[in-house]
Every structure is written in C-alpha cells, then in structure tokens.
Structure 1
Amino acid sequence: MNIEKIHYRIEAQSLNAHLFHITCTVLRPAATGQKFSLPAWLPGSYMIRNFAKHVIEFSAESEGCPVAVSRTDKNTWFCAPCEGVLKVYYTVYAHELCVRGAWLDKQRAFFNASCVFMQVAGQADEACAVTLVAPDDPECGNWRVATSLSRHSQTNNSAPLYGFGDYRADNYAELIDHPVEMSAFTLVSFEVAGVPHDLVISGRQRANLQRLQRDIQTVCEGHVALFGELPEMERYVFLVLAVDDAYGGLEHRNSCALICKHGDLMPDDHAAPDKDYQRFLGLCSHEYFHLWHVKRIKPTAFIQPDLSKEVYTRQLWVFEGITAYYDDLNLLRTGLISLKDYLGLLAQTITRHYQMPGRTHQSLADSSFEAWTKLYLKSENTPNATISYYLKGALLAFALDMRLRRDTQGKVSLDTLMQASWKSYGKTGEGVPEEGFEKLAATLSGIKLEDFFQTYLYGKKELPLADLFADLAIQCQFRPAHSLNDKGGLLTEDTVSKQASPYASLGIRLKPNKKQVVIATVFTGEAAQQAGLAAGDHIIALDAWKVNALNLDKRLKSYQPGDVLSVHFFRRNELLHVQLTLQAPSADICLLTLETAATAACLSRLNTWREKLITA
C-alpha cells in the first residue's frame, strides 16, 4: 500500500468564529529545516490575494516535542530541523463569500485548497492525502461533501461518495485545483460522454432541477462536440452557491465554483430562457469550456507557475476572450437560446467595450499583461485607461473566426483552431508559448495573419465589426445612449417603434445604488470632468431640483446638449456647486439587425457559423 509522505487534516475548530483547524503531517521533512507557505494567488484569478493573511496561529512538533517556528516572509513559515515526523498545526479564518476564498459557518463550509493547505517546500511533486472531518455539531448532521478530488481507496477511512473521510492528490498543484463544498446541498447528477457530472447547489433556493439538469447537460455536450472528447477524469462537478445578489465563477481542473442569484435558477419548464437564466447558462458554459481551454491548454508561463508572485503573459485574451466568445455561442448552437437572443447578448458585449474610453489607450495584449495591476485592481479611472481582455478578447475571437472562414472558403475556422490547439497543447501537456496561438492560426490556415494581430491585438485600432457582420447578413450600427442604463441589443421593428430620443449626457457612470446619485467614474473629456466633478461625488440637485437614482434619467431628458446646469453635490460631506454644460452622448450603443434582403451567400455563411462545427 502506498503511503503518502504528506497528510492534511481539516476540521471545523469553531463554526461561529469561522475557523478551520488544519494539521499537516510531513513524514520526511527537510534535514536543514522545513518551510511551509500558502499561495499569494490562485490560478484563474490574476490578483495577489495573500491567503496567508487569514492564518491566525501556527505551531509545530516532532515526536511529541515542540519545534521552533519563525516567519521568513508574508507567506512562509520555517520549522527548525527535527529528527522524526514533523506535524504543523494552524488555524485559518474563513468568512469570504466568493468563489475564490473559504467560508465556514453553521449553514455550509467551502474552501479553495489554496486558502487552507500549505505547500511543503521541496515536496510539491509528492502525493498527498487529505482527511475531511465532519463538524461535531448536530446542526450539521445532514452535511455531505462535494468535490472532484479523488477519494482515497487505500486507507481505513476512505471517503464514500459525497462523504467525509480520506481523499488524495498526486501533487500539490492537483490538490489546490479541487475546491470542496460541505453542506446540506441539493444534488443533481447526469452523464456526459460516459463521465458522471454533478450539479451541486447550496444556499436557500427553489431551483427548477429538471430544467437545470437538462440544459446544463446540453451545454456540456455542446463543448464536447467542439473538442471531440472529454479530458480524462473521474467526474466533473458544478459547485453552485445561490445568494441574494452576486455573480461569478472560477474554473478548476475537473470542477468549477459558481455564485449566482436565487432567481437565476428558477426557469419555467418550457418557456424560453429569460435574461437571468441566459446569464447563468452562459456562466456554466464559460467555466466548462475552461475544462479544455486554460486548465489543459495553457500558456507556458502557467505550466508550473510561481504562486508567490505575479506570473505574466500576454495571452489572457486567448484563454478568457476566446472562452467568452464561445460561452454564449455554444448556447446558440445547442438551441438553448435563439439567434435573436444571441445577437442581443453580442450587441451588449460590443456596447460594454465601446463604453470604455481606455480602448484608445491600451492594447489587448497589454490588457492581458497588466491584468495583475489594472483589470483586477480597478479604480474609478479604469474605464478611461484600460480595456477588458474578456470583452475585446471575445470580439477579436469573433473577428479571427470570420477571417479564417472567409479566407479559407470555410475550410478553417476558430473551431478547427481550437481542435488543433487541443491536440498540440492540451493532450500533450506542452505549454502554449507567447505568440504560439497566433503562429498556430497562421500555420493551420495558410493565411498571413501578422498584420491582423499587429493591428488589433498589439495595436489599438477598432475592429472592422460592421464589415464582419455584413458577411453574415447582420447589420451592425451605433447610436447615442437613450438612458443611463442603455445597453444596446437586437434592433427589431418592435424596438424601433420604442426608440427614445438621445439624452443630454453628464459623462458619468454611477455606483450601483437604488437611491443616491453617486459617481463611480467620470469619463475623460466629457461634461462632468470639464465641470470639475469627480468619482465619489454625491449629486443631490440639478438646477435646484432634487435628483435621485430613480428620477435622474427623467430629469436629464428635459434638457438638450449645450444646456448649462447648476449642479449641487456633496464631496466628503461638504456641499459644493458647479456649472455644467451638457454634451451629446457618444455613439457607443451597439445595435445588431438581421438583414431582411440578404444574399444567399451571406445567409449560408450565417447558418454555417451558427449551426455547424467545422471539424479538423
């Protein structure tokens, strides 16, 4: 029987105080002293989080005798040399309600292993065992365990399916890529390509489980059809937390952690998906696509990343932007949403990108490289200075797809490029070098793409969206916003009749607030900035009329561009006043329209793109 040289035991020290207690046993500690450290970040989320800040106590012993411990840096503890087995004990505070952290109370426990399991220096490649201990509290008596971590088969405490007990991982990298949910969760199971899949839902909810199971299974099957196979794995797990108001996800090797609103999980049995349910299905689609793309096809820099500091690549647009392109496209291709619904979602993506003045200041490649300090560390000036590699990355993926299809007469597409990437990198475990994806696209298609990437990836020129959509019998146009919440979408005869007149713009973005008008961003060169307003200002009156988040749009519609307003606002509790000259809003709202008199060739390209996968 194989005995792992490293063993972790995690249990609830205090449910009410949100404290996990962890014991790490090392059979063969380093002779010169053993270091332990927690990661500063976790794969899939490119921000320094310093998980060690949640460690409260740390001690060590060997053969019943205390071992001296010292701190060497913010993430690392050093245990003095010892003769026998080394045991370390530490406590972790777990009260971060998100997909990237750890949580513990009487309702549920959840953790990313990066938050709780320390790496044993010099032994990252060693197999390890993990014991999950059930809370000693009668209120948790109906808790189960959901994780894609492998159950141990060679101990006396082997965990049953969905049970507490012993699990294992082949190395530290594998250990921290399997989050764990422990609660009285709702469970739905199904198979995709012969592999068990679990949909695990925690939190108070009244989910339509039958509809969810059917639709998520369809989502998974769509991506399997694209790549041609599932990666080798025991099972896949969707870990979903339903809360009052949140949204997000994080991919893992054989699972994903998702957070959504209660209402996102309540679709009607037979009705078309509403906007909330579309968004949830898109989130599931996005994270499941990562099963291939970023968890196995990954940049060279992420093959063995140093989790103590930032790791840089200019390829995040490849791994997040292309994934963002395929998440909703997969819903269209599998019939979960209509073409009109898809075009509405795509138009909103374009609108969000065009509403970022930073698109003239930052390239897509630089957006990827600077994710650590800009995209994940947002400020009030972020929209003015940066772009999102999710948004422009998805649009560049669309542009590349259309370019490949057009210049190869439909023989090569982004579909075939993804399949080739899976064979060249995903199945071999070889990392994608910088510019490797671009070179693979050129090699596979036989097209010279240097100018394309230099212009739109490394440069800041706008993508030729109107021309690209025209080839698909879709008209792409832009107009000024008609309200502060105008997101764009599909233009139909019905929506044309409901079009409002453009409003005079303050040139601001508001903080989410149902009552107060508080500025989140002042856009470069626009009315508010020229008048001297700033992020954080609380506007209370326009021309001596009280305004709030509910009536601001209506008040602005009574003015025209060029009108001068008297604006009263609070800044750091001081009442101030400025004169502001309203401007016409920029034409940054995207509307997509299906052409009614399209050519047969355009309709053929549209149908091929929306319905068929071009296989390699």
Structure 2
Amino acid sequence: MPRTSGRTPPAPVHYQVQAADLHAHLYRVTLTIAHPQAQQRVALPVWIPGSYLVREFAKNLQQLKARQGRRALAAVQFDKCSWQIDCDPQQPLELSYEVYAFDNSVRAAWLDATRGFFNSTSLCLRVEGQEDTPHGLSLLAGAAPANWSVATGLPAVKTDKRGLGHYRAANYDELVDCPFELGAFWSGDFKAGGVSHRFVLAGAPPSFDGTRLLADTQRICETAIRFWHAGGQATGRSGKPPFASYLFMLNATDDGYGGLEHRNSTALICARRDLPRTDSKPGEGYTTLLGLISHEYFHSWNVKRLRPAEFARYDYSQENYTELLWFFEGFTSYYDDLLLRRAGLLDDAAYLRLLNKSVNQLQQTPGRLVQSVAQASFDAWVKYYRVDENTPNATVSYYGKGALVALCLDLTLRTGGQGSLDDVMRALWQRCKAGPMAESDLLAVLQELSGRSWSREFRQWVHGTAELPLRELLEQHGVAIHEEPAQLAQRLGLRVSESGGAVQIKTVLRGGAAEQAGFAAGDEWLGLEVGSGRSRSSWRLNKLDDLLLYAGGQGRVQALVARDKRLLGLTLNLPRHVSTWRLSVQAKERVSAWLGA
C-alpha cells in the first residue's frame, strides 16, 4: 500500500481505531469532528450494502462519551442507532466508544487473539451533515500482537510496514466500503489487466497451496477484465478496470462460506477443506470457492459501479428497496461459473453439472409459482435472509432464478443471431456511464441490439411466475436433457435432517405427497406400518432411505410421527413418477460456441 512522508493535516471527520481487548473482543474508537453542528447527530448504519437485511449494528456499541476539551457533554440517544450532542460549533467535538466484535462473517466485525476484521459500518459513526467531507482513519496497534499486519483497500496516507497508521477516504461512502483485515495472514500478489491485485488469507492450514490459488484467481480476474473492457471499447480508457488496485481478503474457517463485494476489494469466507492443497488434487469445494471469487470480483462492475438507480445514494438508516436484485445478483451468478469456463478452469461438462444444480434447485422450489423474481428482489429485506420452514413454498431466489433469466436472455439472443448477453452487459456499462441504471435501460439496450421489444419476456420471466423456456433453449444450443428419478426426499416433497438415528422434518413442500399426507415441519418421523391384516408389519425409521427398504413395492404406507409429544399416524401415498434433470453435452460445437464465447 502506498506510503508518504511528512505531516498530513487531519481530515474534518477523523476516527482513531485500536484493538482494545482481544479477549473481550472490543475495539475502541475515538471520533473527532473538527467543525460540529450546534446540535450534532451521529448514527451507526443499520445495514451494510450488498447484504440486504437490517442487522442493527448499534447493538454492539457501548460506553459512548462526548467531550469538548476538558468539558464532558451528554450524548443523548435519539433512536435505536443515533445520538445527539449539544455542543459549541466553534470547537472540535470528540466522541469515544467501544464496539463488541464477535461476528465471524463478512458483514460485521471480529476480534480475538488470532485475527481482527472490521467493516466500518460496524465501527464508524456517521456524522450527519458531513457525509461528503473527507474522512480519515488512524489504525493503532492497541493490544494487537506485534506480528499482526493490516490489509485494506482504503488509500493509505502514512503507514508503517505493518500497515498501521493513517488512511483517508473521500467521503463516508468510501470509508465504509473498504473493510480491514488484521492478523498474521498469508499474502500473495499478481497483476491482471495491468493492475496490482493482492490476496490475503487468514486461517490457512499447512497444506495450503498458495501458488495455485493465486494463479487461478489471476485467470479469473483477467477473464473478467477482458469481458468488460475488451479493446477498451466500453470505457475508452485502454481497457483498464475501474480500480487502481484490488484486494481479496479470505478467512478460512472449519465450515464457512460467503462473500461481500466492495469497490476495490472483497471479503470472503470458506471452509479450510475447500482450499487448494499441495498434497492432493482440488475437489468440488475448490470449484465452489473459485465461483465465489469470480462472483464477488464481477460485482466490482455489476452492482458497485453499474447499480440500481435506487442505490445512487445509500440510506444507511433504513432499508433501501429495489426490484433489480435479480439482475445485479442473478446475472452475476450466471457469469460467475461461466467465466470459470472461459478462464479454462472448467470444461463444458463440468460447467453443465453446475448449471444442472441451478436448474433443479429452481424446479424443486414451489415458490417459483408464487413469487416473481422482481418481487423476491423487493422482499429481500424481510424474506431472503429470514429463512423458515415455509420459505421454499412462498419465495424464489433472486440469485438462482435471476441467473436462469440471464441464461434465457443469452440463449434467446444467440438463437436469433442478435449478439449475446455479453454485448448487453457492455452496452449497459457504456449507456449508464458505469453508474445508476433502471430496468428501462436494460429493455432499451435489448431492443437496440435485437430490433424488437422484450416486454413480453420480462412480463413473464421477471414480473410473472411463468416457467422459463429452459428445455427449448438448452436443446437448441446442443445440450441434452435426461429425465431421471428424483431423490426420495424430493419425490415425497420433503426436506429432512438425519442425526442420531432420528429423521426430523424441516420443510414440507407445497403440493407434494408429504403435505397431502399431513406431515408438518418439526415432526419426527419415527417409523411406518406396511401391509394389512396378518401381513401387517411395523418398522423403526433411522434414516429416510429406510422407507424404501421396508415399504418394498407398496404404494401406500402408514407413517408414524411425533408432534408436540403426540404420536400420529399419517397415510402416505408413495409417488412413482417424479423426475429431475441431468444435462450433458450433445452437440459439442454448439455448446462450445456458447460457453467459450
């Protein structure tokens, strides 16, 4: 990170952050406002952009104190996340407080004896009325061990070799869009598109193969940059990406997965077993990790720059609604694995296996017939992150279905010889000047490229619940579709957990055999009775597959379940004709023309 010498004047809004107590998981923050208002309000965000749920970060803020010089002032809480301080506007105002940091996700803040991490949405109070002024952040060692270093995408003003020191942001938005990683992490770097990229990894096991991770990530980045800036036509700037440098921050845990995009960095989490290893070949988990890296990196263009018009200015105090998450998350989900294929990290068959999962997941979600993908985008704040037993019956994923809407648009354009979705994305980038866009912009670009209106497709695929024409389009592009018997749980219309010899019902899918029999979420399926009269027999169920063992060829069984300590007998008709898809390459040249574009 860049370092300069000499004294730098403090920013009008300045934060001093230090690891105060590793074992109590506390950061200490001192906020200095050079020119406060007479009634200065400060507030902590309730959400973080990219994760559409109100998370109430203020719940972790404590010991807030205010002073001017030696005079203590009252910080009066105004609502759940904001405070007001009556002060002298001619003197600097200083606030000090602590933040409890024990959220080991990519969304908030973490601190213990092995690692520190924070998004400034969790630590830095927003100074109302001064959001657009320069903001400074000084990171001090505090209780951090001497071997800890710092990684962040925030521009450095003056830092030491560990990364401790002073950083500066143009405004509050930039400050909170650059998370910090602290610790004794592994680090590597490479260049892509003429731009320096750095990768830091916390929690790496001894078998970790950093050389492979860097090489594969570099191929992903180069492919994404070519996608957006082929020949520099999209930007007129010699094909350079929209950031001066980029940082990947990956936290490897025993069992984790997720990512969050930022303007010139991303925070990621994965399971250690999914990392590449020097002693064995990577498995499917590593492919999933590469897909996550591809997804978050693609977001640097699609949602961080090209973004919903409703996100032209974030409101950190409440929900920010948009119907376009199916485009920004869904289309990114379409391209994440597709760019792995174009980078040579997948072959056609492996790509189709990943696509197969997405298709079957949608087809096995009854909520696709209830909720449109535009509604799902708008309802993300109350539904997507609040999964319950009825979620699959009432909702559809704007990630999953959005990706398949992108697929349908891409293949429809290719079928008509009207270009591809690649052309649409680059044209949108240019039309919207890498900034706010609306659905009307997407429709206009589609019409310009194809010479026809796409309102019917959007009415059915985006704002309606009609089935997508997946079979027709895939077959036209050389993909064979094989129908095979579904797994037993799907045939029954159930989602279960199996542990310690118990079969617990988690979800009963709408319209399935289990619902018709009267199963309910929370039931424990204890056993079944088969036959009648003298041939009647009873069996204990230890796992779901035992059903086929004991039912034999019977089409009907009596299921015994426990619900609220009551034993119930449910008549279950076993369905015979529930199928799922398996995709394969039928016409290699047509598949490669699409996937290798």
Q: TM-score, normalised by structure 1?
A: 0.89
- Aligned partner of 2:265 in structure 1 is 255
Distance 2:572 2:242 in 1: 62
| Residue of structure 2 in register with 1:232 after alignment | 242
Question: What residue is the counterpart of 2:139 in the other structure?
Answer: 132
Pairwise CA RMSD: 1.9
Cα deviation, 1:394-427, whole Å, max 9, x if unaligned, reads 11101000111222x2x521111111122222xx
Contact preservation (8 Å) 2:443, 2:453: no
Per-residue deviation at 1:457?
Answer: 1.0
3-state SS of paired residue (1:73): coil
Could you tell me whether the CA contact under 8 Å between 1:531 and 1:578 is conserved in 2? no
Cα distance in structure 2, aligned partners of 1:237 and 1:515? 46
Q: How far apart in 2 are the matches of 1:34 and 1:546?
A: 67
Which residue among 325, 338, 343 is the counterpart of 2:352? 343
CA contact (8 A) 1:465 1:476 kept: no
- 1:115 to 2:111 alignment: no
- Give the conservation status (yes or no) of the 8 Å contact 2:493–2:509: yes
Provide Cα deviations, 1:9-68, integer angstroms capped at 9, x if missing partner.
Answer: 11122111111111100000012x111101111110111111111112211001221112
| Secondary structure at the counterpart of residue 453 of structure 2 | coil
2:56 aligned residue (35, 45, 50): 50
Classify the secondary structure of the residue corresponding to 2:302.
coil
Please state how far the C-alpha of 1:527 moved relative to its aligned partner: 3.0
2:98 alignment partner in structure 1:
91
CA gap of 1:20–1:564, structure 2 versus 1, over 3 A, is same
Aligned to 2:234: none
Q: Supply the distance in 2 between the matched residues of 1:290 and 1:514 (Cα, whole angstroms).
A: 42
Contact 2:193-2:241 within 8 A present in 1 as well: no
Contact 2:12/2:134 (<8 A) preserved: yes
- Is the Cα–Cα contact under 8 Å of residues 519 and 570 in structure 2 kept in the other structure? no
Residue 552 (1) aligns with residue 544 (2): yes
Residue of structure 2 in register with 1:611 after alignment: 596
The equivalent of 1:535 in structure 2 is 521
State how far apart, in whole Å, the 2-side matches of 1:586 and 1:110 are. 51
- The 5 Å alignment of 1:251-330 reads 251-267=261-277, 271=281, 273-330=282-339
Residue 150 of structure 1 and its aligned partner are, at CA, apart by: 0.6
Cα displacement (A) at 1:308: 1.1
1:566 aligns with 2:566: no
Deviation, 1:231, is: 2.9
Secondary structure (helix, strand or coil) at the match of 2:78 reads: strand
Once residues 148 and 309 of structure 2 are traced to their aligned partners in structure 1, the CA distance between those partners, rounded to angstroms, is 40
Q: Distance between the aligned counterparts of 1:209 and 1:327, measured in 2?
A: 21
Q: Provide the secondary structure at the position in 2 that maps to 1:276.
A: helix
Pair 1:175-2:185 in alignment: no
Counterparts in 2 of 1:177 and 1:606: CA distance versus 1, 3 Å: same
Give the equivalent residue in structure 1 for 2:504: 518
Alignment of 1:395-434 (within 5 A): 395-407=404-416, 409=417, 411-425=418-432, 428-434=433-439
Residue 361, structure 1, aligned to residue 342, structure 2: no
Asked if 1:334 corresponds to 2:340, the answer is no
Give structure 1 stretches of 5+ with no counterpart. Answer: 153-157, 487-504
* Residues in 2 aligned to 1:586 and 1:363: alpha-carbon distance in whole angstroms: 27
Displacement of 1:434 in angstroms is 3.8
Quick one: percent identity of the two aligned structures?
A: 40
* Contact 1:532–1:578 (Cα < 8 Å) also in 2: no
Displacement of 1:611? 1.5
Q: Residue 187 in 1 paired to residue 187 in 2?
A: yes
Partner of 1:500: none
Q: Name the TM-score, length of structure 2 as normaliser.
A: 0.91
Tell me which amino acid in the other structure corresponds to 2:515.
Answer: Q
Q: CA deviation at 1:182?
A: 0.2
Count of aligned pairs between the two proteins = 570
AA partner of residue 433 (structure 1) = A
Q: Deviations over 1:90-122 (max 9, x none)?
A: 111110111111101001011111111110000
Q: Report the CA distance between 1:449 and its aligned residue.
A: 1.0
By how many angstroms is 1:558 displaced?
4.2
Partners of 2:307 and 2:546 in 1: CA distance: 49
Runs of 5+ in structure 2 lacking a partner? 1-7, 230-238, 530-537
Deviations 1:263-288 (A, max 9, x none): 111246895x5211110100000000
| In 2, Cα distance between equivalents of 1:474 and 1:514 | 42
**Alignment partner of 1:163: what SS?**
coil
